[in-house]
Chain A
Amino acid sequence: MKYESQKVAYWFFATCMLLLSLQLVYGFIMAFAHAGYDVLHPWVPFNAARASHNNLLVMWLLAGFMGAAYYIIPDECERPLYWPKLAYVQLIAFVIVGVTAIIGFHFNWWEGRKFLEIPRPLDYLVVVDVLLFVVNIGMTVWKGSKMTTTSIVLFFGLLMAAVLYLPGMIPTDHQTHDAFWRWWVVHLWVEGVWELIMGGILAYLLIRLTGVDREIVEKWLYVIVGFTFLSGILGTGHHYYFIGTPNYWLWIGGIFSALEPLAFLGMAIYGLALARKGGRNHPNRIALFWTVGCCVMSFVGAGFLGMAHTLPQVNLYTHGTLVTAMHGHMAFWGAYAMLVLAIMTYALPQLTGRKLFDTPSAIYAFWSTNIGMTAMTVAFGIAGVAQVYLERRAGMEFLDVQRELQVHFIGLILAATLFTSGIIAFIYNFIRYGWPVGDVEEPVPTGLRAAVPAE
C-alpha cells in the first residue's frame, strides 16, 4: 500500500463481510421455505427474504467494487485519493440507504421489480452516492501521474454502471416496457459493464501476483472486454424472448448469448496462462487461488451454464424455473463474489500489515465455499430440470410439482451449510487481520523472470 488514503478500502471490505453474512441468512430462510418449512412466513414472507437476499448481494458486490477501486486506483495512478474524507461519507451513506431498503422490504415498502426492488426515493440516493464515488475516483485518475489501461477500464466500468442504473427508473404502465428497461440495467450490468470492472480488477491482480509484463496483460484485457461487449450487448436479447417483444430477439439473443462464453473462456485461459507463466512465487498464494478460481468458476457458471440455459429452444421450457436459480448462483459466485474475495485477500495483508496469507483457515475457506457452491448448483439444477419436466412438459399442477422438489432443497441446505462454513472461515481470517494501519510495504513476487519477453 502506497498511500494512507487507500485505507478506506478496508471499511468497504468490512461492510462486504457484514452484508454477505446477512445475505446467507436470507438464503437459508428461502431454502427452508422451499423445503416445506416456511415457519418465518408471518414475519419474513418469501418475497421479503428474496428481495433482501438479492439486494444484499448487489450491495455487497458494489461495496466490494468500490473498495477495490479505492485500493487499486491510487496504486495505479500513483497519487492519493482526491477526496479521502468523501470516501468515508459515501460509505456511510451507502450503508444507511442499503439498510433502510432492507428494513423497508419487511414492511412491504419496495418497488416489486426483480433485482430493482429498492423503493424509488432511495433510488435517487443510490444514484447520488454512486456519483460521489465516481467523481472521487475520476478526479484521482485525472490528477494522477500515470493513466494506465487497467485504471481506465476500471473507471469506465464503474461510471457506466452508474449511468446504466438510470433506464431502470423510466416510469411506465406497460409491463413489457418495464421488463425491457429493467434488463438494460440488470443484464448490461452483469453481462456488460460489471465485466469491465471484473477485467480491470483481474488485470491488476494478475499483474501484481504473477509479475507478468503489464503490456501483455492489458492487451489481453482489451481483447476480453472486447468480446464481452461484442456478445453481451446483443446478448441482452435472451431476456427479450417471451416478454411481448418481436420474435427476431429469439435468434439475435440466441446467437449472441451463445457467443457470451467466449469472453469468459478467454478470461479463464488468460488467468491460468498468466498464473503458470509468471508467479507461483508471490507470497500471497491464496490471493492467486481466488483470482484464478474466479476466472475458472465464472466461465463455468456465467459462461457455460448461462449459454446452456439461454438457447431459445431450451429457454422456452426453463424460463422462469429453478434452472435460472442454478445458473444465477454459480454465475454470481464465480464472476463477482470470488472477484471481490480475491481483491480482499490480496489487499488485506497490505492494509493491515499482517502477513497471514495461506493459513489453513484461508485454504479451507477457498475449497469449502467452492465445493459447497458447486453442490448447491447441482441441487438447483436437479430441482430445476425435474420442475421443467413435471410442470412444463407433463403439465402437472405447480404446487404438486413443488412438493416433489422439496427433497432437493434438503440437499441444497446441506450444500449451503458447507458453503457457509467456508464463508465463516473467510470472515474469521478477515477478523484475524485486525485493523488497518498506514504505510505497509508491498510484497513482490520473488524469483521472477525479470522481464517476461513479449510472445
Chain B
Amino acid sequence: MTMLSKSAARAFFLSGTLLFSAVFIWLTVDTFQRIPAQTNSDELTESVARGKQIWEENNCMGCHTLLGEGAYYAPELTRVYDRRGPAFIAQMLRDPEAVYPGQRRMVKYDFSEAQIDDMNAFFQWIGRMDLNGFPPEPTIGLAGAAPIPIPGGERPEIFSQVCTACHALGGIGGAIGPALDFVGDRFDRGYLMRWITDPQAVKPGTTMPKLGLTQEQRNEVVIFLSKQREGGL
C-alpha cells in the first residue's frame, strides 16, 4: 500500500460516500413509491392512526416488539390480531394482570373502549402488511410435526386465539393454566358454561380471568370442550 497517497485516500472516501449516498437516496424514493401497495396504505384509517398514537404515547415498544422492533420483554405483536383476536386484545388492555395472573406484569392503562377499538384497528392493519416473510412460521418440534389428534373436530377460531394463550390442548398452547386434554370427562356443559362466563362466581379467588366473550363464542367453546373426552377420538 505504499502506492496510496493521502490525496488518493481522500478521493476514495469522498467519491465512495457521494456515490453510495446518491444510490441510497434513489432507493429511498423508490421504496416510498412501493410502500402503499405492500402495506395497504389505503386502509390506514383515522382509527388506525389514533391507534399508532396510543402505541407511541405509552411507549409500548419499551417492552413489546412490533415489526420486530422494540424491546424483548413482552410478546411480538405484529400478528397479534390474527393470533389472539380482538376480544383477547381488548381484555388484555382493560386489565393485563387479570388475563395473565402471576406472570410478567404489564402496566394497566385506563384506556377508554374507543381507544381499545383504535388499538385493535392498528394491530389489524399492521397484521395485514406484507413483511417479506416475517414473522417466520415455526419449523421444528411440535409445531412442525403432525399435531397430536384431538377429538371434537377443528379447534374453533376463538378457542385458538383466546384459550390457547394459557391452556394447552393436544400439546399446543401455553402452560399458565392447566392443560385441557379430556376436560369433557371432568366437567359437564353447564359447569363449563358457568366457569367461562364468570370464573369468580364458581371458584372465588381463581386466577382464571373473565374473558368477555359473546354468548355465541361461549357456546362454541363449551361445545368444543365438552367433546374433549378420552373416548371421543
Contact = CB atoms under 8 A, between A and B. Distances in A.
A384 to B, nearest CB: 8
A60 interface: no
B76 interface: yes
B129 interface: yes
A47 B103 contact: no
A113 B27 CA distance: 24
Interface string B1-25: 1101110011011001100110110
Given A111-B56, A233-B24, A243-B131, A393 B62 contact: no
A230 B20 contact: yes
Contacts, number: 214
Contacts of A174: 35, 39, 41, 44
A395 to B, nearest CB: 3
A229 B31 contact: no
A399 B35 contact: no
Contacts of B175: 397, 400
Given A46-B73, A455-B1, A220 B9 contact: yes
B67 A244 contact: yes
Interface string B84-116: 000000000000000010011101000000000
Interface stretch (A288-296, A302-310, A321-329, A330-338): A321-329
A426 interface: no
A46 B63 CA distance: 6
A114 B138 contact: no
B59 A246 contact: no
Nearest to A318: B68
Interface stretch (B140-148, B201-209, B212-220): B140-148
A41 to B, nearest CB: 5
A241 interface: yes
A48 interface: yes
Given A47-B59, A319-B68, A394-B143, A219 B24 contact: no
A225 interface: yes
Interface residues of A, number: 74
B154 interface: no
Given A41-B105, A112-B62, A233-B24, A320 B138 contact: no
A455 B2 CA distance: 6
Interface stretch (A74-82, A88-96, A175-183, A348-356): A175-183
A246 B31 contact: yes
B225 interface: no
A215 interface: yes
Interface in A201-239: 215, 218-220, 222-223, 225-226, 229-230, 233-234, 236
Contacts of B24: 233-234, 236
Most chain B beta-carbon contacts within 10 A, residue among A30, A41, A111, A223: A223
B6 A226 contact: no
A50 interface: yes
B52 A173 contact: yes
Contacts of B31: 180, 240, 245-246, 249
B180 interface: no
A233 B58 contact: no
A45 B60 CA distance: 11
Contacts of B140: 389, 393-394
A108 B13 contact: no
A399 B39 contact: no
A133 B56 CA distance: 30
Interface in A224-281: 225-226, 229-230, 233-234, 236, 240-250, 252
Given A112-B56, A229-B16, A394-B138, A50 B131 contact: no
B72 interface: yes
Contacts of B69: 114, 179, 243, 320
A198 to B, nearest CB: 15
B193 interface: no
Contact of B44 (A41, A112, A173, A400): A173
Interface residues of B, number: 76
Interface string A108-140: 101111100100000000000000000000000
B133 A114 contact: no
Contact of B21 (A117, A233, A240): A233
B70 interface: yes
Contacts of A252: 27
Contact of A108 (B58, B66, B103, B176): B58
B135 interface: yes
Most chain B beta-carbon contacts within 10 A, residue among A47, A108, A178, A324: A47
A149 B1 CA distance: 20
B96 to A, nearest CB: 11
Given A51-B59, A111-B56, A244-B35, A320 B16 contact: no
Contacts of A18: none
A243 B56 contact: no
A50 B62 CA distance: 6
A115 to B, nearest CB: 10
Contacts of A215: 6
Interface string B33-66: 0110011010010001100100111111111011
27 contacts: A45-B63, A45-B105, A46-B63, A47-B62, A108-B59, A111-B59, A112-B57, A112-B58, A113-B56, A114-B61, A174-B41, A176-B35, A177-B32, A226-B9, A226-B12, A226-B16, A230-B17, A234-B20, A234-B23, A244-B67, A249-B31, A322-B72, A387-B72, A392-B136, A397-B173, A399-B176, A400-B176
Interface of B: 1-2, 4-6, 9-10, 12-13, 16-17, 20-21, 23-24, 27-28, 30-32, 34-35, 38-39, 41, 44, 48-49, 52, 55-63, 65-76, 100, 103-105, 107, 126, 129-136, 138-144, 165, 173-176
Q: Which 10 A-B pairs have the closest CB atoms?
A: A47-B62, A395-B138, A395-B143, A320-B68, A242-B134, A394-B141, A112-B56, A226-B13, A222-B9, A112-B59
Interface of A: 30, 33-34, 38, 41, 45-48, 50-51, 105, 108, 110-114, 117, 149, 173-180, 215, 218-220, 222-223, 225-226, 229-230, 233-234, 236, 240-250, 252, 316-317, 319-322, 324-325, 387, 389, 392-395, 397-400, 402, 454-455
